[in-house]
Structure 1
Amino acid sequence: MAKRNIGMWLYQNSGGEQIQKKMIKLLKDREIDVLANVNLKNAIAKNGHIIYEMKDKKVKLDKLDLFFSYNAGEQTPYQVYLYKALNRIIPMINSYEAFELSEDKFHTSFYLRKHGIRTADYKLCHSDDAHRLNTIMKKWEKMVYKPTDGWGGMGVTKIDSVEALNMLIPFLSQINLKYFYVEKYVDYDNTDYRVDIVDGQFVACYGRKAATGHWKTNVTSGGSVFLREANDEIVDLAIKATKTLGLDIAGVDIIFDRKKEKYIVLEVNGIPAFATPEQEKMGLNFNDKKIDLIVDLIDRKTTKEGGSK
């Protein structure tokens, strides 16, 4: 087999640099060379090519065998725009189509529900129909406003009274939103299951819990990670959600609805973090398994049998 070449853009903080080194070594053992730290923000597109300029050379990224994009924190609109263009030519992990779907909370919930996967009840309405939120509030009693494209809990707001809603609507009007997306607040114990899936296989599960007096489990919102086992129902639900969205890699957030007594998918993250060094010390030891599965996935996708474009 001819030597294969891939591009990689993996976050470097919280242990990411060491993760990347391990991955590159394993790929090299399979005769797959890696062009690392390729931020598409620094590339240009011209005359049918997407060109990444390095100190000593220029690389046509569209000539690579695959591009692995895994950096949520440094995404820019330009980088995402080139991500979409590059995916028309070469295989990507995740594909742009799956990435775009998972980035949008409404489209994710809409698509999952259409395929029989339980999510929180939701409503999407035009910004001119803000009065509908009052009707929804009366029916649900509590709801959660979510920016459709946010991550890490940013901008997510719980609305538990008409007064709170009346305070929020003028603010939303000022930021010139085109639509409002809200979910019915789910009665749960302020903990969730984060289930990591790679290439249709279960990698690991851990729990997250909200800080005392709060309800968001996201670590960036003050939540904390703890050891937690997943049962078969949770694993099956996570695998099904990942497959439905077409993701190669996913972190599926699942909570238990105490009122309906059912597990539901709260969100699906296309770039779930590896365990940090601190989390590994507390017992989260899934990084090596996740690396091996990603390397296997890259190996398969860069062969003709793997479906390269």
Structure 2
Amino acid sequence: MAKRNIGMWLYQNSGGDVIQKKMIKKLKEREIEVLPNINLKDALAKNGHIIYEMKNKNLKLDKLDLFFSYNAGEQTPYQVYLYKALNRIIPMINSYEAFEISEDKFHTSFLLRKNGIRTADYKLCNKDDTYRLQNIMQKWEKMVYKPVDGWGGIGVTKIDNIEALNMLIPFLNQINLKHFYVEKYVDYDNTDYRIDIVDGQFVGCYGRKAATGHWKTNVTSGGSVFLREANDEIVNLAINATKVLGLDIAGVDIIFDRKKEEYIVLEVNGIPAFATPEQEKLGLNFNDKKIDLIVDLIDRKALKKG
């Protein structure tokens, strides 16, 4: 069998460079050559090919056997646009279709609920129907506004009363939104479970808790990571959510609704980070397992050459 060649774009901060080296070494042992740091932002599409300029030659990315994109922090609209085009020709991890769904909070919640997976109650309404938000607020008492395509808790706003909503609406109108997506505020203990899934298998679990006096658990919003064990119910919920969305790799955020006394899926991240060196010192030891499962996945999905 001829060697297979794949492209990789994996984040380099927070220990990502070390993860990449380990992954490349394991792939090379399987006669899979890796072209690292392929950022589609720097590629050019022309005449049926997607070209990436390298030092000595121009690489036709559409001739690769697979492309692995894993860098949430540096995504650009152009890069994502080419991601979609390239996935029409070669395999991806994750597929563009699954990636696109996971990037949109409404489509994620809509699909999960249609498949019987518990989420927070949500509403999506036209930007011109702001009166609907006022009706929703009166019914729910508390709700959370979320940009459908945000991540890391950026732009997420808790609305406690009708006065706060009336102050938020003019701001939302100024940024020219097409629609409003809101979720009913869930009564929880300000902690969550992050469950990592690769290729339908449980990789690891850790907890996140909001800073004192705050409610967001995202690390980028001041939350912190702690060791936490998952039970079978949580793991199965995460595996099923990942399957419904069609993701090869996912980080599923789960919280316990104290009012309904049940676990719910809060969000699904298609590019969940590996444990950082600092987190590994805390005891998060799932990186090697995650690397092995991703290598197995790449080996299986990369185009075979006879």
Fold shared, TM-score > 0.5 on shorter chain: yes
Which amino acid in structure 2 is aligned with residue 301 of structure 1?
K
Q: CA deviation at 1:257?
A: 0.3
1:57 to 2:60 alignment:
no
Q: CA deviation at 1:303?
A: 4.7
Which amino acid in structure 2 is aligned with residue 279 of structure 1?
Q
1:37 to 2:63 alignment:
no
- Residue in 2 aligned with 1:199? 199
Indicate if the aligned counterparts of 2:144 and 2:156 stay in contact, CA closer than 8 A. Answer: yes
- Residue in 2 aligned with 1:240? 240
Q: CA deviation at 1:131?
A: 1.1
- Residue in 1 aligned with 2:170? 170
CA distance in 2, matches of 1:254, 1:292: 25
CA distance in 2, matches of 1:173, 1:33: 49
Identity of aligned residues (%): 88
CA distance in 2, matches of 1:77, 1:157: 24
- Residue in 2 aligned with 1:225? 225
CA distance in 1, matches of 2:252, 2:282: 21
Residue aligned with 2:254, SS: strand
CA distance in 2, matches of 1:69, 1:175: 30
Which amino acid in structure 2 is aligned with residue 195 of structure 1?
I
- Residue in 1 aligned with 2:267? 267
CA distance in 1, matches of 2:301, 2:90: 10
Structure 2: which 5+ residue stretches go unaligned?
A: none
1:118 to 2:111 alignment:
no
Q: CA deviation at 1:130?
A: 0.7
- Residue in 2 aligned with 1:48? 48
1:81 to 2:57 alignment:
no
Which amino acid in structure 2 is aligned with residue 164 of structure 1?
A
Which amino acid in structure 1 is aligned with residue 244 of structure 2?
T
CA distance in 2, matches of 1:75, 1:244: 24
Q: Deviations over 1:163-211 (max 9, x none)?
A: 1111101101111111000000000000000000000000000000000
Indicate if the aligned counterparts of 2:91 and 2:303 stay in contact, CA closer than 8 A. Answer: no
- Residue in 1 aligned with 2:157? 157
- Residue in 1 aligned with 2:299? 299
Q: CA deviation at 1:55?
A: 1.2
Change in Cα spacing, 1:223 to 1:137, as seen in structure 2 (3 Å) is same
Q: CA deviation at 1:25?
A: 0.3
Of 295-304 and 229-238, the range deviating more from structure 2: 295-304
Residue aligned with 2:252, SS: strand
- Residue in 2 aligned with 1:281? 281
Task: Report how many residues are paired.
Answer: 305
Which amino acid in structure 1 is aligned with residue 241 of structure 2?
A
Which amino acid in structure 2 is aligned with residue 209 of structure 1?
K
CA distance in 1, matches of 2:302, 2:169: 49
Residue aligned with 2:14, SS: coil
- Residue in 2 aligned with 1:18? 18
Indicate if the aligned counterparts of 2:126 and 2:180 stay in contact, CA closer than 8 A. Answer: yes
CA distance in 1, matches of 2:303, 2:240: 26
Which amino acid in structure 1 is aligned with residue 56 of structure 2?
D
Residue aligned with 1:128, SS: coil
Q: Deviations over 1:69-88 (max 9, x none)?
A: 00000000000000000000
Q: Deviations over 1:29-84 (max 9, x none)?
A: 00000000000000000010000001111100000000000000000000000000
Would you identify which runs of 4 or more consecutive aligned residues in structure 1 move more than 2 Å? none
TM-score, with structure 1 as normaliser: 0.98
CA distance in 2, matches of 1:193, 1:23: 26
Structure 1: which 5+ residue stretches go unaligned?
A: none
Which amino acid in structure 1 is aligned with residue 198 of structure 2?
V
Residue aligned with 1:52, SS: strand
TM-score, with structure 2 as normaliser: 0.99
Q: Deviations over 1:78-101 (max 9, x none)?
A: 000000000000000000000000
- Aligned-residue Cα RMSD (Å) equals 0.8
Indicate if the aligned counterparts of 2:66 and 2:303 stay in contact, CA closer than 8 A. Answer: no
CA distance in 2, matches of 1:35, 1:6: 6
CA distance in 2, matches of 1:303, 1:231: 36
Pairing 1:98-117 to 2, within 5 Å after superposition: 98-117=98-117
CA distance in 1, matches of 2:254, 2:178: 29
